[in-house]
Structure 1
């Protein structure tokens, strides 16, 4: 059945009306943000971060999950073109699912198409304003576009939600998004 749903989804955007509304995961994520912020060590922080990913990667239905999984497999195999096609299909089918936009943005980022990545990240954040991965991805994208002040502000917002992000290192003194104006 899952294969039939995925094949129907691959047929095109005519099935967009069939995607259910993504579940409201705001209270679940709020609890995970609190866990991350209150974590006493890396192990606890990493557990909260991993749990956030489990929430974001929970697609609205089996067909969407199959396409998301296929896109992730393509990405992990460095088949960025195939991954981009899969995530575009996912967005066509479930335009209100933030992770579809975030994943396609990541592929655009990896392809160094920062303008396309930024557009998709902005949409992901419209749908889920505290999506930490989209926030940090947007910060990295802005940094690569040379928009350092905006990148710093975006990365600070991401780290405020999850202080255990590896990208937090970019905010350290002397790092690309580190403090400015304190030099001699």
Structure 2
């Protein structure tokens, strides 16, 4: 069975960046977005309670054997659009991404973001498609948009942290991994990535 959208985003991140100037040009942008994420969480925490707020509260204190189910419920809630058109574009784009047709996936997700410009998951889905197409600049832009509308989207925060780490901004990456674990203490890849940085002397707390 092919990996799901979320499974792909959870897998260890590998890059094939061949142009050094691309990395240099993106470093400052990524660092700025990372700072935005860290600051935005405090504002979002003041929002009124909702279904997702309650699920996130449960996730933070859940035993490990319940965390995966709560995580799935959160992802389902974030993807709930209330629009048949959006749901169809999500399905078509996700199907294309699973089939490895990143160009078609980007087209569907672009139609989605055009149709629903404030729907955070539209940008998150397209960020994954851009990522798999090795288009890291557009992926970063879409992660920024995702986190503008949903600063607690811990998969988007993790993806941004992975990009910072690849670009050599290790301390900021460690901050973002810690932010992921504040929201979802059961995020295994964030914990593994942070542990790896700590072994190298990065991201330790006193």
- Per the normalisation by structure 1, the TM-score is 0.78
Q: What stretches of structure 1 of length at least 5 have no aligned partner?
A: 1-23
Aligned pairs (5 A) from 1:3-18? none
Query: How far apart are the structure 1 equivalents of 2:107 and 2:49?
Result: 28
Contact 1:170 1:178 in 2 (8 A): no
The corresponding residue for 1:21 is none
C-alpha displacement of 1:113? 1.9
Larger deviation, residues 114-123 vs 90-99: 114-123
**Of 32, 38, 62, which aligns to 1:39?**
62
Deviations 1:127-149 (A, max 9, x none): 11111121111112222222222
Per-residue CA deviation, residues 21-71 of structure 1 (Å, 9 max, x unaligned), is xxx996211111111111122x21111111111112212411011001110
Q: What does 1:137-156 correspond to in 2, within 5 Å? A: 137-156=159-178
Other structure's SS at 1:29 match: helix
Residue of structure 2 equivalent to 1:122: 144
Higher CA-based Rg? 1
Moved more, 103-112 or 72-81: 103-112
Match of 1:93 among 115, 119, 129: 115
How many corresponding residue pairs? 156
8 A contact 1:71–1:83 mirrored in 2: yes
After superposition, residues 145-184 of structure 1 pair within 5 angstroms as 145-167=167-189, 168-172=191-195, 175-176=196-197, 180=201
User: SS at the partner of 1:102?
Assistant: helix
2:76 corresponds, among 54, 63, 66, to 54
Report runs of 4+ in structure 1 exceeding 6 Å deviation.
none
Q: Which ranges in structure 2 are unaligned for 5 or more consecutive residues?
A: 1-46
TM-score with structure 2 setting the length: 0.70
SS at match of 2:168: coil
Which residue does the alignment assign to 2:50?
27
What is the alpha-carbon root mean square deviation over aligned residues? 2.0
Corresponding residue number in structure 2 for 1:109: 131
Contact 1:72 1:83 survives alignment (8 Å): yes
